[in-house]
Every structure is written in C-alpha cells, then in structure tokens.
Structure 1
C-alpha cells in the first residue's frame, strides 16, 4: 500500500501508510465514544487526585475533539518509540532507511539488522524505554495543567497511560515485536543466531495463534490483523536468516554456473527444442557474437504454436531484462536482488567474462551447504 512522506528526522524519512490515514478517524471515534471517555476519565482523575468533569467531556462535539487529539498524540508517541530504536541503531553506526506509521503502529526499517546479541538487545529495548519516558513526561505534565483544563488533562493523562501500556505490550516475547527481539538477542548469547531466530519465531507463532483466538472471541479485527502480521513476519525472518546462514561467505560468482550450455540468439525455436532434448536441459544461456545476452527456458516457448516455433528465433523469446551483478557481490544480497527484480536469473560479470546465475543455482548451493556443513565446497 502507498506511503506518504511527511517529514525527516535525523535524515530518516518519516512516512505515513494510507492504512493509517483510513484508520485515524475510526480510532478517534473509538477513543471519543462514551464508554472510553468514562473509563479513562476515572483513571486520569485518579492520577491527578481530582475528578474530571465527565459531562463536559461528553458534551457536543467535545468527544470528537478528545478522540482526534488522543489519536494524533498516540501516533506521535509511536513515532517517538520508533525514533528510540533508530537512535540506538545510529549509535552503532547502523543505517536507518525509514520509519513508517501504519494501522498497527510503526516500523523502523534498517539497512541491515545486527547479529551481535548486545546490539540487537539495546536497539530492541530502546523503543519501550522511550515509550516509558514519554509516559512519565505526560504524567508530570498533568500537574502542570490547571484543573479547569478538562480536555487537556484527559488527553495528556490518556497518553501517559497508553504509552506505558504500549511499552509493556511491545515487550511481550512475540517475535518480531520488541520483546521477541530481546528474546532472540538473549538466546543468541550461547547458541547460533539462526537457532535463536528459529526458537524466537516459534514463540512468536504461538503468540500469533493466541492473538487470533482472542481476536475471534472478542470480535477484534485489529488483533486478527496483528496475529497475521506476527505470523508472517516471524516465519519470514526465520526463513531469511536460514538462507543467509546457508549462503554466508559465498559470492554470487561462487554460485554462478559456467556458461557451458549456450545457444546463439539467431537459432530457431525448433533448434532450441532439439538442443533441450539432446542435452537434457530446460535452460540455456543465450549468446550473440560470443557475448552472453540473456537466458531462455522451456517456459518461454511452451505457449507457442507450431507455426510460431518455426518462425521465431531464440532472440525473440529470451529474457534480456535480467539484473547485472558484480561477481564479488555476496550471494545472499544477489538472491535478494533477484527477488526484488522478480527475475528468474541474473547475469554475473566477472574477470573471466559473463556468467548466469539462476534460482536453481542458489538452491543447489544451499543444498550442498546443508550436506557438507559450513565448510566451503566451492
């Protein structure tokens, strides 16, 4: 979904997802509803030691004003929470690409997550610590406001309570929430990073199931959405870490295969079919004048009619918009590049010419790593 850049802090773009823009009026209505105002008016009144004027809070359009101020204040608090993560990451010279606010809160995107347990620990806890500090500042602010400022007292008190709840909720060990990342960091002190990630992801999946059950029982779409997010993010990161471990230390030049099976771009499709049967291969590197220019696979001509197969050349069918990668690029980064480009293969440029690397090559490399362990079979 589309994101809108609203400002920049410390060189970090702050973006708002369209889901938040749609959800904010709903959140304002929920906060400003009679039951919520009555509940939190009692809590805030207890904090300041005086009873808030409930009739004034519920009169006319005041509930809408209260709800809007509280909803906006909540996402300002979420932004500060994510900036806490960003500040801690920047202390370790890690690049923060952006902060995005969306329907479930905020996401700070890092160019690369640290694998050192102590760095991940402090980056993870920096967010909840920031929320606690914001909650304490809001609590102190209650005593600076006059008792007649009923709306301001309610909103500031609500933000104080909500920030403390936000900090506590985020510390649940539901990976990849902050508490789950803290758990992985602690597990990684005495076990491999991939193993720590798998354990944390399993616990995160368990929490996702719990949130889904409570979401169904309480008819809460937000809890259901949170459950889906945690499940997808936990399993996705676990898979990513496993891939990264299997490809660690390899460059894309190590993984790329020599261009042994080649076919000229001017060859007919019928010639290609004959070569595929003769060489028992479904994929060929395409050359023109001895230079690698693309890749052709069985899927490229499967839908062609007999007449088209006779008339077309390999050059008409081949994939040419393939990513071009340097042979020294890490294998994992190259695989990410393939996924980003949604390409089936890439051209690898090295000192000995241009080679081709496909998803099957990455699969073969990882399978070899599984069989021989962490040694280098290349």
Structure 2
C-alpha cells in the first residue's frame, strides 16, 4: 500500500514510480561474481566456443545481473499495465534482491481479475524467453558469439523468471493464481492461508537446498519467500478484521486539538502534556492538518512564542467515525501519515487514530471473534 522503506526512486512508468531497494544494490555485485564465476560453463551451454567471449568474466557477470533485473522490471510493468487498464491503482514498482513487486492499492475484488493480473507477468517473461530464444537460433552458426551468448542468457533468465513465478505459493504470482482459484469456494481469508502455507513450504525447501549446496543466494531467496508469505497472510487477516470494525471503536477520543493560531510554545506544551509525537491542528474545531513533536523541537525554545502553529503544521488525513478501520488505515498508509484525525457527522474533531489504536482494536476484535466462533476461528462465508 505504501512505498517500501529503503527504496530509491529511479524513474517512472505511466506515472507509477519505479524504485530500487537497497538490497538490490548489495545483490548486484554478488550476482556479478556468481555469474562471472560460472561464465565458462554458461558459454558451453550456449554453444559458444571457449575463449570466444571477450571481456572480463566479472563484466559479463554484471551485465547478466543487470539483464536479470531489467527482465524483472518488464515482468512487473506487465502487471502494472494490466492493473491500470482495468481501473486499478498502482503506487509503485520496487525491484528487490529476489525480484520485484507491484504495489497495488487493493487486491482486485473479483478472483478472476486477480488470477489474470498475476498471470500476465509470467506470460510476459515466458514470451520474452521464446522471442529471445528464436533470435538465438537465428544467429547460431553466424560467428556472432557475443550476441549469441547474450541472447541465449537473457532467454534462459526470462524462462527461469517466468517458471519461478508460476510456483503455486506466495509471494510468487502462482500463489495469487492459487488464491484466486480457491477464493470462490473457501473465501479470501482461508484461500490466502492455503497459498501462504504453500509459500512457507517452498521457503523451507529453498532453505534446505541452499544449506545442502552451500548457496547463500538460495538461502536469501528462502528468507524473502518466507517473509512474503507471512506478510501477505498477515495483511489479508488484518483486512478481514478491520473491515468489520468502525473507526469509532478504534480511535482515541479527542475533542480538542491544537488551534491553528496558537503559538509553537503552546503546541510544544500540548504535545508534552499528552505524551504524543503529534496532534491534530484545528480551526473552529475542524481538523486542518497536524503538528509534530519534531516540528516543535525544530524551533529554538526562545523563539517558539513568536511562531504560530499554521507556520509549522503538516498535511493530515481525516477519517469518518462510521467508516471501517481498513479504509482509514489504507488512506493513512497511502499518504504516509501515521495518524488520522477522526471527525463526526458535522466535520468536527472527535478523536485520533494511529497504529497503536489499530493494534489494540485488532486484539479486541480478534478476541471477540474467538469467543463467538470457538475452535476453528476465523470462519468465513464462502462466495
């Protein structure tokens, strides 16, 4: 739902930011060394004579590593393009150490749409593999060994990328296809549990294989697959809980904020008195932004009386008393704001909502569901 921490924006596609995670910057040299060390074996596989490749093996390794992540980018752009053409909202594409992720505002509501959107990525990769493989066949025997090797390697990378993402487990695309197929019968929550369980199983298999072969990259893949499966399962579970709870039941009641025309000295005192890192800024009782402890601290103590809150306030997020907690959390995450001001029917401040409120509300809702449902919680109506 939001930009991942540790990611740097390097471009955009149809208005969608393209980011590179710092893990990728660490992975590229390691992949270059790995590919460079296996260059001779790779050349033999591509039917390129020994010594026909000019240049340092590590340079070839780096080129192959960059080619892999360009292939991942095309894979993710296919997901993004499908989502945008079907009315979806994508907040960004992030390239990471084990691939990429398209950050959707929301999972498609129809299982069929999720399945097709998941499928277009691997089909794009496999299509590229077939196209590059055909070009490799065309240049074979022409003595263009550098081109032949590059085309063959990129074809193999895309074939592996497409096949890997079709594994029927989260966080790969195949896991989303499995969930989409099971959702009409099991419901979204239980279908996610099955796909996440398959993801954990594959993570264990990757981990065992990495230990047996002493391959650190396979161990890293196992770790990220496990984290992806856990994260997807946790998010869907959170969504299922919060959609049933109104913001009013989650929020911290608060009738008074920091008035727009108060001094920063007053804001500093209010933040200290409330023991919070931020408070809503109000005008005539209506929230218009937020003021943070960091902003108050940034003004020298001797000068706080000469600055008013409107000079230092930041944009905020507003939530309605009657809307569900998931909708409010999504809006906070998309705006990258850790607190929402809650308003009543007249638009007046009624409370605040932050992550601590959400965690406490989820714990209460979870306990209530357990007591109502008994063993086997949570139960979900099938479609």
Please classify the TM superposition score into its range, dividing by the shorter chain length: 0.7 to 0.9
Q: Distance in 2 between matches of 1:212 and 1:171?
A: 19
1:25 lines up with 2:29 in the alignment? yes
1:363 lines up with 2:356 in the alignment? no
1:158 aligned to 146, 153, 157, which one? 153
Higher RCO structure (Cα 8 Å, ≥6 apart): 2
Q: Structure 2 vs 1, CA of residues 55 and 199 (structure 1 numbering), >3 Å: closer, same or farther? A: same
Residue equivalent to 2:284: none
8 Å CA contact 1:8–1:14 kept in 2: the answer is yes
Residue equivalent to 1:37: 39
Residue equivalent to 2:276: 319
Q: Distance in 2 between matches of 1:138 and 1:151?
A: 14
Report the number of matched residues. 315
Q: Structure 2 vs 1, CA of residues 178 and 186 (structure 1 numbering), >3 Å: closer, same or farther? A: same
Larger radius of gyration: 1
Gaps of 5+ in 2: 259-268, 281-316, 374-378
Residue equivalent to 2:302: none
Give the superposed CA RMSD: 2.9
Matches within 5 A, 1:1-378: 2-33=6-37, 36-45=38-47, 52-57=48-53, 61-145=55-139, 147-253=142-248, 255-256=250-251, 259=253, 291-293=255-257, 316-319=273-276, 321-322=278-279, 325-327=318-320, 328-335=322-329, 347-351=341-345, 353-356=348-351, 358-359=357-358, 360-372=360-372
Residue equivalent to 1:267: none
8 Å CA contact 2:271–2:279 kept in 1: the answer is no
8 Å CA contact 1:326–1:350 kept in 2: the answer is no
Structure 1 window deviating more from structure 2 (9-18 vs 330-339): it is 330-339
Structure 1 window deviating more from structure 2 (62-71 vs 135-144): it is 62-71
Matched residue SS, 1:333 = helix
8 Å CA contact 1:204–1:231 kept in 2: the answer is yes
Q: Distance in 2 between matches of 1:68 and 1:228?
A: 24
Q: Distance in 2 between matches of 1:20 and 1:124?
A: 23
Q: CA deviation at 1:370?
A: 4.9
Q: Structure 2 vs 1, CA of residues 198 and 251 (structure 1 numbering), >3 Å: closer, same or farther? A: same
8 Å CA contact 2:11–2:18 kept in 1: the answer is yes
8 Å CA contact 1:114–1:120 kept in 2: the answer is yes
Q: Distance in 1 between matches of 2:128 and 2:36?
A: 22
Deviation track 1:207-237 (CA, whole Å, cap 9, x = no partner) reads 1111111122222222222222222221222
- TM-score under structure 2 normalisation? 0.73
